[in-house]
C-alpha cells in the first residue's frame, strides 16, 4: 500500500537545518522559508497507538521512531498531560492520501477500524473520502484524488495566474548505463535502497524529495553537479561516505578549492538566510556528479 502526506511538507531533517536560521535577533525578519517538519501525536499509550498506524497503513518507524508517510513523518510519543482519549477529535484531522481508497477501506475494515464516515465520492471535490477513528479517538481521513480533481485544480491555478509547473513537484532523473551496478553503488556506498523499481528504472526517496535512476545508453558529462543533498554536518557525512568507499573529488581552481574534499562556496539565495555553503563532490558508478552541502549562516 502506497500512502503520501496530504500536505506536501518536508521531513524533520529539513527543520533541523531550519532551526539554525532562528539565530536572528529580535525584530529581525526571519527567513522566508518556513516548513512543517513532522506531526506529533501525543498519547497516553503510544505503543498501542503506533502499532495501530503500522498495521493500518503498512508503515514502520525509522530508528528515531518516526513513521514515514511520503514526505512527512508522524511521531507518536507519550505525554503525561493528555487524556487517554482525544476530547475534541474534530479539531485536527490527519489526512492520508492513498492510491486506492476502496482497497484501503477494505483493509481498515478487516483490522477492525472504527468508521466515523464510510467511504464516499464527494463533489465538487471530485475525490473519495472516508474517515476512521484511531485508538486514541483521533480522526484519520483517507483520500483518493481522481483525475477530475487534478483537472479542476489545474484550472483553478490557471485562473489564478499560476504556471502549471509552479505548483508541481519536481524530481531528479539520473542516467545509468548499468542499472544493477548503479543499484549496488547506491546501496553499498550511499546506504540508499530504492523504494520502488520497474523495468529500466529505480526510484529513491530521501529526507525531502526524491530521485530516480533510469537505464540509458548515454553517459553524463560528469562536469557539473546533477544532484545534491543538503546536510547538517558535512564533515560527518563525508567521513561516513568515505568509510563506505566513496571517493571525493579534489579541486584547485580560481573560485573553488577543496581541502580534504570540502570546499567553501561563497554566496547563497537570500531567501535561505545563508551567506554560503560548504560542499563536497563525488561521482557515482555511472559518472553522474553528485554533491553534499552544508549551508553557512549569516
3-state secondary structure of 168: coil
**pLDDT: is 27 or 205 the higher one?**
205
DSSP labels, 87-132:
S-TTSSEEEEEES-HHHHHHHHHHTTPEEEEEEEEETTTTEEEEEE
Average pLDDT over residues 231-244: 94
Residue 183 is placed in which grid cell? Answer: 543499484
% of the chain at pLDDT higher than 90: 64
Confidence at residue 31, expressed as pLDDT on a 0 to 100 scale: 46
Average pLDDT over residues 123-139: 96
Confidence at residue 218, expressed as pLDDT on a 0 to 100 scale: 85
Confidence at residue 267, expressed as pLDDT on a 0 to 100 scale: 79
Measure the CA–CA gap between 92 and 140, rounded to whole angstroms. 9
Confidence at residue 240, expressed as pLDDT on a 0 to 100 scale: 95
Average pLDDT over residues 119-146: 96
From residue 289, alpha-carbon distances to 57, 201, 281 in Å are 36, 19, 7
3-state secondary structure of 211: strand
Write the CB contacts of 80 (distance below 8 Å, at least 6 apart in sequence): none
Confidence at residue 19, expressed as pLDDT on a 0 to 100 scale: 41
Each residue's pLDDT tens digit, 111-121: 999 999 999 99
Please give the radius of gyration of the chain, using alpha carbons only, rounded to the nearest integer: 22
> In this structure, what is the dihedral angle of CA atoms 150, 103, 92, 151, given to the nearest 10 degrees?
0
Each residue's pLDDT tens digit, 210-236: 899 999 998 888 889 999 999 989 999
Amino acid at each position: 500500500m502506497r500512502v503520501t502526506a496530504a500536505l506536501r511538507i518536508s521531513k524533520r531533517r529539513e527543520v533541523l537545518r531550519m532551526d539554525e536560521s532562528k539565530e536572528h535577533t529580535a525584530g529581525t525578519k526571519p527567513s522566508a522559508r518556513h516548513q512543517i517538519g513532522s506531526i506529533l501525536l501525543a498519547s497516553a499509550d503510544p505503543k498501542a497507538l503506533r502499532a495501530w498506524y503500522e498495521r493500518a497503513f503498512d508503515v514502520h518507524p525509522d530508528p528515531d521512531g518516526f513513521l514515514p508517510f511520503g514526505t512527512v513523518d508522524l511521531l507518536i510519543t507519550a505525554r503525561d498531560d493528555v487524556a487517554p482519549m482525544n476530547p475534541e477529535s474534530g479539531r485536527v484531522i490527519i489526512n492520508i492520501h492513498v492510491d486506492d481508497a476502496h482497497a484501503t477501506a477494505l483493509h481498515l475494515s478487516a483490522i477492525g477500524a472504527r468508521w466515523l464516515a464510510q467511504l464516499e465520492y464527494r463533489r465538487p471535490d471530485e475525490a473519495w473520502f472516508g474517515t476512521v477513528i484511531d485508538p486514541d479517538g483521533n480522526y484519520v481521513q483517507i483520500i483518493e484524488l481522481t483525475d477530475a480533481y487534478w483537472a479542476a485544480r489545474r484550472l483553478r491555478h490557471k485562473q489564478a495566474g499560476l504556471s502549471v509547473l509552479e505548483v508541481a513537484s519536481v524530481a531528479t532523473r539520473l542516467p545509468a548505463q548499468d542499472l544493477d551496478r548503479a543499484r549496488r553503488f547506491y546501496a553499498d556506498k550511499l546506504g540508499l535502497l530504492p523504494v520502488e523499481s520497474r523495468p529500466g528504472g529505480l526510484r529513491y526517496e530521501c529526507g525531502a524529495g526524491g530521485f530516480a535512476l533510469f537505464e540509458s545508453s548515454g553517459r553524463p558529462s560528469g562536469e557539473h553537479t546533477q544532484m545534491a543533498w543538503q546536510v547538517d554536518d558535512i564533515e560527518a557525512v563525508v567521513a561516513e561516505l568515505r568509510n563506505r568507499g566513496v571517493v571525493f573529488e579534489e579541486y584547485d581552481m580560481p573560485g573553488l578549492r577543496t581541502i580534504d574534499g570540502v570546499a567553501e562556496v561563497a554566496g547563497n539565495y537570500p531567501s535561505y538566510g545563508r551567506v554560503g555553503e560548504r560542499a563536497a563532490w563525488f561521482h557515482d558508478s555511472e559518472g553522474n556528479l553528485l554533491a553534499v552541502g552544508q549551508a553557512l549562516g549569516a
